[in-house]
Structure 1
Amino acid sequence: MTRAGATSATRTGSLPMPDAEPKTLKALNRQISAANPLVPGADRAVLGEGAEGAAIAFVGEQPGDQEDLAGRPFVGPAGKLLDQAMAEAGIDRSSVYVTNAVKHFKFEQRGKRRIHQKPTMGEVKRYRWWLMKELDLVHPKLIVALGGTAAAALTGKAVSVTKARGKASFENRPGYITVHPSYLLRIPDEADKQRAYKDFVADLKKIRALAA
């Protein structure tokens, strides 16, 4: 598929023509990497990471600054916190699949700093077919939405994590909605942060049990 073709299909929210639709995760990743970014910012796609057939797929919002530089998902502060929480919940990071709803780092340049910008619902929807095709190919037992943007990408509509937290269904696929680890990092009060972290680990333990 050409770079222009991939971009056109994504902007309309439609799948590519059947003869060009990727049949493997490797082919899909080539398509994502070749397409133009659909958000302002980085021009490098950060692809999902993990094995096809992983029992759990974690979906975040978008890559951050460190993820964009490294070319890998969840390697920054939020990723390190996710690793810590998964370890406490008995989940091996190497056994799961991790990806993002939006594949490029959306940011605003301020001097030498690149400041994260939240993707709009329209931008999330433009990436949605890539995400759903990716999950088709990975075929996890359970899909975990980390935060509201991921939940919106998986359901196609705005979601309140506070109200929807827990077991979910994403187009008839078993799912679970919880907070994004970056939310925990932003809590100013240390006692509140510790309580929220314990709740997050409790969610991960439920996720492990559901995927078993």
Structure 2
Amino acid sequence: MDDEGLTKELLQNRIVQLEHERDELRKDIEQLCMQQAGPSYLAVATRMHFQRTTGLEQEIESLKKNLAGCLREKQNLEEELSEAYKIKMQLSDLHNAEVLKNKEVEGQLKFFQGCIASALSERDYSIMECERAKEREEAISQKLNFSNKRVEELELAYHYEKEQNASLVKELNELKEKIEIFNKVIDKFCMIRDRDGGSSVHDAWQSMCSCLLDDP
């Protein structure tokens, strides 16, 4: 039992005790008055009874006021306690809502952490692919440089061969011109020979050359 309940119980017991003493005192005075019929004693007893009764009544009224105050204080405390319970229930509801919200936030956090982990994994994979692409690019660049050097070499060889071909063509044309001249000279010799030695026509140019060479 708390202090408020104990105080209330003590006040109620005290009121009952005082009312009981008042009633007993009234009975005692009445009995004394009946036993002592003298008027002077009756007046004293009545005065004493009145004073004692007045004191008891005042004490009872004071105790009743205290009890009423305690009851009002108890009612106020009960109202405050009820309001505190309401606030507690509201706080409990808010706490439950916050717990639920925290669970949702934790779920979202785990989801975003999974997304971040997946993004980091994709980033690492992209970095590896980028490194591989760089290696392939370097290899292709080396091959391209080699191909460019080979093309340059082939172009140089082509230009050299072209120059050589042009030189050979020029030389061939010169030889053709010389052969033309030689052919004319041979034809001239053959005509002179045929004219001096009789008619001897040779169809093939090589045959005419052989005849000229074999002629003493």
| Higher Cα radius of gyration | 2
Higher-RCO chain (CA-CA 8 Å, sequence separation at least 6): 1
TM-score, normalised via structure 1 length: 0.16
TM-score, normalised via structure 2 length: 0.16
**Which protein has the bigger helix share?**
2
**Which protein has the bigger strand share?**
1
